[in-house]
Structure 1
Amino acid sequence: ASGLAVDGSRLLMVNDGGSALEVFVLDRSCRVTSVVTSPVDPYDVEDLARAADGTLWLADTGDNDRDRDTVALYALREDGQSVLFRFTYPDGQQDAEALLLDRAGRPFVLTKEPQGRAGIYTPAAPPSVSAPTALERVGSLTFAATGTPGGPLGQTGQVLITGAALSPDGALAVVRTYTDAYLYAVTDGDVLSALAGEPVRVALPPVPQGEAIAFAANGRDLLVTSEGTPFDVTVLPAAASSGSAAVEAVDGNSTGVNLAIAAVLAAVLVGVFGVLRRRS
């Protein structure tokens, strides 16, 4: 799996590739119970986040060859209705596999950099469904090789960001590489300031290509898995507990873009549902 999220006792999972948006819903035994799908052909979906209102956000941001003119975020409802938002980078094409969605709905895209200095990008203006919206670079993350075994690329894999998640209560953020997870305490919902702080590192179990990570519903356990089949979802009990008291974040808040995203999404979905009702 490329992306992982949790909804109560349900596990939500996305793969990269494919010719439609698909989110697989799994029970506690990792049995697929349903598939949320929309007939949209994405380019390279790499991560998944679940908003407070239940909307699923898919990060179509993969760009191994760095030749995409735009990247995309899809807002997908469980009834299959989806909305596409396209974005452009301010500094050329980027490959990204990690999405953080704060509690207010503001997205942060984290790039995948072989040198370990990843960019943090967020919309510079309220996103539009009619034209691409510019992203702005608002920060960076720098990781060093750790020596943790696993992953496909040796020391390089130890610094490449492959996934991210926010805890259900918004108190913790986690960013992962192929081999390690980095936990950040979030104060007053300010994810960006949290990412500027010192993280607590957790070495992850070695797997061939670990990309997905999520917090369990209790906000303390971490769930991780790898691409490829067959796959296991590994639970790291209370892995987040060590990080919650060890990191401080700068106070702050930014809600303008968040509220605008929510307003645009609501308007588009109302329009879609209105058309469907008129056609029925």
Structure 2
Amino acid sequence: MSTGASWRCRLRSVTLAVLLGLPLAAPAAADPVPAPVPACTITDERLTELSGLVADGEHWYAANDGGTAATVYVLGKDCQVQDVITASTDPYDVEDLARAADGTFWLSDTGDNDSDRETVALVTLTPNGESTFFRLTYPDRKHDAEALVLDGAGVPYIITKSPLGTADVFRPAGPLASPGPTPLEQVATVRLNSTDTPGGPLPGLVGSVTVTGAATSADGTAIALRTYTDAYLFPVKNGDVVAALAEEPVRVPLPNEAQGEAIAFQPDGSLVTGSEAGTDGAGQPVNVVAGAARLVAPEPPAEEEKPRSGSTVSSASEAADDGLPAAPAAAVTIAAVGVVYLLFRLLRRRRSN
């Protein structure tokens, strides 16, 4: 393309932008996705099947896959077990962990690899070791599920595990009864696309779409679903979990974890992930994605511009009421038209020469 033709194309683009009132500058780029950083390594033999995590400002709280008692391990930020909270309730297959605003832990006893459970369950566990057992039934068929989140009101949501990339979301259809069962209702479906992020025990791209854990941020404005290879962050508005899971998520590639199932948000919005020990039985790191929640944080409301001292027009709307264009808009439009005119004159002059 000749120089003159290039100038004419640019001139037409600028002219069209001015006439349509379009911005002349490109929008700012989105925040980059932070890289996960290993914080420490879990070597305690009691946590070789790490499946659920929650976090507060001082500790990580961990749950093992399976088990014969409702148990939560209290970890320091050095990955060392400092305490164990347990109750005599015997779950079938614990797969995830959540924590309510009052400090009560919720263990998701929802694993069903062989599709042979007539009911699944949730177990609550208080910090002093008191537990309550809630049986649940699906409305359609048997499901294997490894992910649990709580909304701001403490309502639990169970997200199923599917190697086809379609996860169903269920919540209790009414108040939970103990021992129950309480019927569940399906409220959403989440579809994930395969990625080439390495990790997990499943072959090919299957592991990248299989949901293995979930978490809610401390302020309730973000939900994270994880697969064996990636985390997906969803913005939550007005506490609406169902609407949030219908939004387009932000994907955060995770490190090559042997069997990554655990995920949590720290109070500062950092994302914490962990893995089962895998086939070699070696200790696995806890990985942290600093400030991940900001990737889907709601934008702060725009501050109302105050009139300058001595101004006779206090707002754009008042200027319009007076039959005048708003001062900033008029200035930008006049300047842009001036630029277009000068470019036009310059181009005409070059062509005449």
Tell me, in whole angstroms, the C-alpha distance in 2 between the residues paired with 1:230 and 1:21: 23
**1:1-280 alignment, distance < 5 Å:** 1-153=50-202, 154-219=204-269, 221-228=270-277, 229-245=282-298
Tell me, in whole angstroms, the C-alpha distance in 1 between the residues paired with 2:215 and 2:272: 10
Structure 1 residue 245: Cα displacement: 4.7
Equivalent position SS for 2:167: strand
Structure 1 residue 119: Cα displacement: 0.4
Map Cα deviations across residues 205-260 of structure 1 (whole Å, 9 max, x no partner): 111100000011212x11001011412111111222222259xxxxxxxxxxxxxx
Equivalent position SS for 1:25: strand
Indicate the RMSD between aligned Cα atoms, in angstroms: 1.1
Report if aligned partners of 1:14, 1:23 keep a CA contact under 8 Å in 2.
Answer: yes
Structure 1 residue 186: Cα displacement: 0.6
Structure 1 residue 7: Cα displacement: 2.4
Tell me, in whole angstroms, the C-alpha distance in 2 between the residues paired with 1:130 and 1:45: 17
The amino acid of 1:239's aligned partner reads A
The amino acid of 1:152's aligned partner reads P
The amino acid of 1:171's aligned partner reads T
Name the CA shift for 1:100/1:40 in 2 (closer, same or farther; >3 Å).
same
Aligned to 1:271: none
Map Cα deviations across residues 96-145 of structure 1 (whole Å, 9 max, x no partner): 00001011101100000111111000001111114201000111001111
**TM-score normalized by the length of structure 2:** 0.68
Identity %: 54
Higher strand share: 1
Larger Rg: 2
Tell me, in whole angstroms, the C-alpha distance in 2 between the residues paired with 1:181 and 1:34: 28
Map Cα deviations across residues 42-92 of structure 1 (whole Å, 9 max, x no partner): 110000001000000000000000110100000100111000011000111
Structure 1 runs (4+) deviating above 3 angstroms are none
Aligned to 2:329: none
Equivalent position SS for 1:152: coil
Name the CA shift for 1:130/1:72 in 2 (closer, same or farther; >3 Å).
closer
Name the CA shift for 1:147/1:185 in 2 (closer, same or farther; >3 Å).
same
Tell me, in whole angstroms, the C-alpha distance in 2 between the residues paired with 1:222 and 1:208: 18
Structure 2 stretches lacking a partner, 5+ long: 1-49, 300-353
Higher helix share: 2
Number of paired residues? 245
**TM-score normalized by the length of structure 1:** 0.85
